[in-house]
């Protein structure tokens, strides 16, 4: 049975069907169905339905969404295949928009774009696909949780967002806070004692203006509505990625917005997955939106096997991760909804005081879903067929980031790597950090293939206070490395015209040291134990040693020693500089910093002997 909400944009519609017999609940019915477009009537009034996909369940019901209403025609957004919809199918509305369930049990779970638990569905159906006619709640209703009511008692006043209990979910999320839903308020008339409860058990009762409301440990929230905040705070703490080129040259903050545009094969997904694995976040929401199935399969295989070290003990990374897997063969409507599902889950953990990082891979596929839906609605197309409101939609998504914190990293896949693509252009007008990927670097196997001349970060000055307090030399060396790379690009153009031999020794030093930095500092092997993650202190020492080599070389040249002689005399030092990245962080900061200090002292002694000769 097809169910429709003809009066409210965003209303969820139920789909209910028993074999070929449809239960008529109200006089709404499909009058005509042709491809993705159908016509229906409601109580004598003609309605038009645009079928963007349909998931009908035998003997049960599932959700779809109202997406367009006007005088006469109404439009619904269906989340699965429409095959089987026939003339005369009745329609019914639920009176609420597409919503997700929020509560204990979200971590270590894999959902699709509309929060169907894929692992549970696989166990029920024993199939790698989601069969038609299957439905299961997003959160396990049978599992019991140890509820701790905290310090609240009967008679206390409580309002939306207040914490009235906590639950031990796993060893990484040992304090899953239970929140009163936004817009709710009242006086506590009952709160359950400490004990074991399921998600269907009432643990809180409040009264407001004579009306009583019961609450469990979970609640629902519409995905397209941002959870309310009282004010936006300025972010000033770095989102550490473990990638040297990003942490050193183009940093992001916790609560910031970042875009990673790049052509096919440039490494967008690897960077997104690396952020999920090693960033300094409490929770990770990874949304695979419209990407290839093998990439999501890689995520599903790798993440359960990965571990991170927390307080001296190793824990599986899945304990802090929720995956939203919505591959390119999923219906366009579900693809469009998956981004909103992910950001709503992220906001829920943000409201608990967690630092959340959300990866959206990729927002281009989401924009393409918007384009397809817009085309079916008959809206006026803008550049390359995208809807005119593309920028507003992107802004409404990225602006849900903020200190608290929700950090959004969105991969963008412009066709052919063209950064003038409408999605890329609109995204760059919103985000504060741009990690531009270069196809030529990727073809040379230079990963991460970040183009240092195109990329930028508007958070650099904001983070100087943090670095001055914790790593006082960091801003100085960062600026010097940037300047050196910029100077080397200008010299590269000269070399192409007159050759390297025509350059002066100081310019040759600039070129050679910049080559050292590009090959052994900016490049990073994300699949090796020694280089998959680089802590800030290791990044700082590598910059310090390489810039120290540059300074001493320039001093030696000014004292009359040729660069050819210096390069030959310091070949072993250069080899050690190139080998700095092979130090494994697991050995400990004290041990590795001690080795770096010895290398630095040896380098100073070597240059002193070269100058004396």
What one-character-per-residue DSSP string does 168-224 give? ---SSS--EEEEPPTT-EEEEEEEPPSEEE-TTS--EEEEETTEEEEE-S-EEEETT
Q: Tens digit of pLDDT for each residue in 365-377?
A: 889 888 988 888 8
User: Per-residue pLDDT averaged across 270-292, rounded?
Assistant: 87
Q: Is the pLDDT of residue 68 over 80?
A: no
Cβ pair 178, 140 in contact under 8 A: no
**Domains along the sequence of the chain with CATH:** 11-98 (2.40.50), 145-221 (2.40.50.100), 238-460 (3.40.50.300), 471-612 (1.10.1140.10)
Q: Is the pLDDT of residue 571 over 60?
A: yes
Alpha-carbon distances of 211 from 153, 180, 186, 206, rounded to whole Å: 19, 16, 9, 8
The pLDDT of residue 274 is 84
pLDDT bin (cut points 50, 70, 90) of residue 49 is: very low
Q: What is the pLDDT of residue 138?
A: 93
Q: What is the mean pLDDT of the segment spanning 326-331?
A: 81
| Per-residue pLDDT, 190 | 94
Banded pLDDT at 520 (limits 50, 70, 90): very high
Residue 11: pLDDT band with limits 50, 70, 90 = very low
* Average pLDDT of the residues in 507-525: 95
Residue 152 has pLDDT above 80, yes or no: yes
- The first and second tokens of residue 236, run together, are 């000033």
Among candidates 252, 267, 137, which has minimal Cα distance to 198?
137
Structure tokens at 216: 């469990």
Predicted confidence at residue 18, as pLDDT, reads: 28
Model confidence pLDDT, tens digit, residues 163-208: 999 999 998 888 999 999 998 999 999 999 999 999 999 999 999 9
Q: Is the pLDDT of residue 8 over 80?
A: no
Please report the pLDDT score of residue 105 as a whole number.
Answer: 94
Which residue matches tokens 């100058």? 611
pLDDT at 72: 60
341 pLDDT band (50/70/90 cuts)? very high
pLDDT over threshold 50, residue 580: yes
pLDDT at 41 (0 to 100): 44
The closest alpha carbon to 269, from 52, 408, 448, belongs to 448
Residue 482 vs residue 130, higher pLDDT: 482
What pLDDT shows up at residue 113?
Answer: 86
- The answer to which of 270-274, 473-477, 536-540 has the lowest mean pLDDT is 270-274
Distances (CA, A) of 276 to 33, 284, 322, 361, 445: 43, 6, 10, 12, 22
DSSP symbols for 50-63: E-S-----BTSEEE
- Flag whether pLDDT at 1 surpasses 60: no
Question: What separation, in Å, do the N-terminal and C-terminal C-alpha atoms of the chain show?
Answer: 91
> Confidence class of residue 541 from pLDDT cuts 50, 70 and 90?
very high
> Residue 57 — pLDDT band, cuts 50, 70, 90?
very low
Q: Are strands 257-261 and 406-412 parallel, antiparallel or unpaired?
A: parallel
Residue 13: pLDDT band by 50, 70, 90 thresholds?
A: very low
What is the signed CA dihedral for 490, 496, 502, 505, rounded to 10 degrees?
A: 40
Region of residue 311 (left: phi > 0; alpha: psi -120 to 50; beta: else): left
Distant-in-sequence, close-in-space partners of 117: CB < 8 Å, separation ≥ 6: 109, 110, 111, 136, 137, 138
Binning pLDDT at 50, 70 and 90, where does residue 54 land? very low
pLDDT at 287 over 70: yes
Lowest mean pLDDT segment, chosen from 23-37, 400-414, 438-452, 575-589: 23-37
The predicted structure's pLDDT at residue 297: 83
Rounded-to-integer distance, Cα 152 and Cα 178, Å = 12
pLDDT computed for residue 426 by the predictor? 94
Cα dihedral across residues 50, 54, 59, 62: positive or negative: negative
Kindly indicate the confidence band of residue 22, based on its pLDDT and cuts at 50, 70 and 90.
very low
Please state, for a pLDDT cut of 90, what percent of the chain lies above it: 57
pLDDT at site 511: 95
Q: What tokens does 34 get?
A: 């042709």
User: Across all residues in the chain, what is the average pLDDT?
Assistant: 84
pLDDT at 414 over 80: yes
- Which backbone phi and psi does 146 adopt, to 5 degrees? -85, 105
Rounded to an integer, the average pLDDT of 446-468 is: 93
- CA 601, CA 578: separation in Å to the nearest integer? 16
Q: How far is CA 446 from the centre of its chain?
A: 23
Q: Is the Cβ–Cβ distance between 409 and 287 less than 8 Å? A: no
* Average pLDDT over every residue of 315-342: 87
Query: What pLDDT, on a 0 to 100 scale, did the predictor assign at position 611?
Result: 78
Over range 131-148, report the average pLDDT: 88
pLDDT of residue 133: 67
When comparing pLDDT for 89 and 19, which is higher?
Answer: 89
Percent of the chain whose predicted confidence (pLDDT) is above 70: 86
- Residue 586's pLDDT band (boundaries 50, 70, 90)? confident
Would you state the pLDDT for residue 419? 87
- What are the backbone angles phi and psi of residue 394, rounded to the nearest 5°? -65, -45
Quote the tokens at residue 415: 């066709």
Question: Do the bridges between strand 283-289 and strand 356-361 make them parallel or antiparallel, or are there none, so unpaired?
Answer: parallel
Q: Is the pLDDT of residue 127 over 70?
A: yes
Mean pLDDT, residues 475-497: 94
Please determine, for residue 78, whether its predicted confidence score (pLDDT) is greater than 60: yes
Please tell me the predicted confidence (pLDDT) of residue 416. Answer: 79
> What is the model's pLDDT at position 67?
52
Strand partners, 48: 39
Q: Is the pTM of this model over 0.85?
A: yes
pLDDT of residue 130 exceeding 60, the answer is yes
CA 531 to chain centre: 22
Confidence category of residue 61, pLDDT binned at 50, 70, 90: very low
């Amino acid at each position: 049975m097809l169910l429709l909400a003809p009066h409210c944009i965003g209303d969820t519609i139920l789909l209910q069907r028993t074999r070929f017999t449809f239960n008529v609940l109200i006089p709404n019915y499909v009058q005509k169905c042709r491809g993705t477009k159908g016509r229906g009537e409601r109580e004598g009034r003609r309605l038009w339905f645009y079928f963007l996909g349909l998931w009908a369940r035998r003997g049960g019901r599932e959700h779809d969404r109202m997406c367009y209403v006007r005088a006469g025609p109404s439009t619904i957004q269906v989340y699965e295949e429409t095959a089987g919809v026939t003339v005369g199918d009745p329609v019914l509305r639920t009176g609420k928009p597409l919503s997700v369930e929020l509560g204990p049990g979200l971590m270590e779970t894999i959902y699709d774009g509309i929060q169907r638990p894929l692992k549970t569905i696989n166990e029920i159906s024993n199939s790698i696909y989601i069969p038609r006619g299957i439905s299961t709640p997003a959160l396990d209703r049978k599992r019991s949780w140890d509820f701790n009511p905290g310090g609240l008692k009967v008679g206390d006043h409580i309002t939306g967002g207040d914490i009235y209990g906590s639950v031990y979910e796993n060893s990484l999320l040992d304090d899953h806070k239970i929140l009163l839903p936004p817009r709710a308020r009242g006086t506590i008339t009952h709160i359950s004692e400490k004990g074991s409860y399921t998600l269907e058990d009432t643990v809180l009762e409040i009264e407001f203006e004579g009306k009583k409301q019961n609450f469990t440990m979970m609640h629902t929230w519409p995905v397209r509505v941002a959870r309310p905040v009282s004010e936006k705070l300025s972010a000033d703490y770095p989102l550490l990625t473990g990638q040297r080129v990003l942490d050193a040259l183009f940093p992001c903050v916790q609560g910031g917005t970042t875009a990673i545009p790049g052509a096919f094969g440039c490494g967008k997904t690897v960077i997104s997955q690396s952020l999920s694995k090693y960033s300094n976040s409490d929770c990770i929401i990874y949304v695979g939106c419209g990407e290839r199935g093998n990439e999501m399969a890689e995520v599903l295989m790798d993440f359960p096997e990965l571990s991170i070290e927390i307080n001296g003990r190793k824990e599986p990374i899945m304990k802090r991760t929720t995956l939203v897997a919505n591959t390119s063969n999923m219906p366009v409507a579900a693809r469009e909804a998956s981004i909103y599902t992910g950001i709503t889950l992220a906001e829920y953990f943000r409201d608990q005081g967690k630092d959340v990082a959300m990866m959206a891979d990729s927002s281009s596929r989401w924009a393409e879903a918007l384009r397809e839906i817009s085309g079916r609605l008959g809206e006026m197309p803008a550049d390359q067929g995208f809807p005119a409101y593309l920028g507003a939609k992107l802004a409404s998504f990225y602006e849900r980031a903020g200190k608290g914190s929700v950090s959004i990293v969105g991969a963008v896949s412009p066709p052919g790597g063209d950064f003038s693509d409408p999605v890329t252009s609109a995204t760059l007008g919103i985000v504060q950090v741009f990690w531009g990927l270069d196809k030529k670097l990727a073809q040379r196997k230079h990963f991460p293939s970040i183009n240092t001349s195109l990329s930028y970060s508007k958070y650099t000055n904001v983070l100087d206070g943090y670095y001055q307090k914790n790593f006082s030399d960091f801003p100085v060396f960062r600026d010097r490395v940037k300047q050196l790379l910029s100077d080397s690009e200008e010299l590269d153009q000269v070399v192409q015209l007159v050759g390297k031999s025509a350059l002066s020794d100081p310019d040759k030093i600039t070129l050679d040291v910049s080559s050292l930095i590009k090959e052994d500092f900016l490049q990073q092997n994300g699949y090796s134990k020694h280089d998959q993650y680089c802590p800030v202190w290791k990044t700082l020492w590598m910059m310090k040693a390489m810039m120290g080599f540059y300074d001493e070389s320039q001093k030696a040249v000014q004292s009359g020693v040729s660069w050819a002689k210096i390069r030959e005399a310091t070949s072993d030092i250069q080899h050690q500089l190139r080998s700095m990245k092979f130090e494994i962080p697991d050995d400990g900061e004290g041990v590795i910093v001690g080795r770096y200090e010895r290398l630095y002292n040896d380098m100073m002694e070597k240059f002193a002997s070269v100058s004396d000769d």
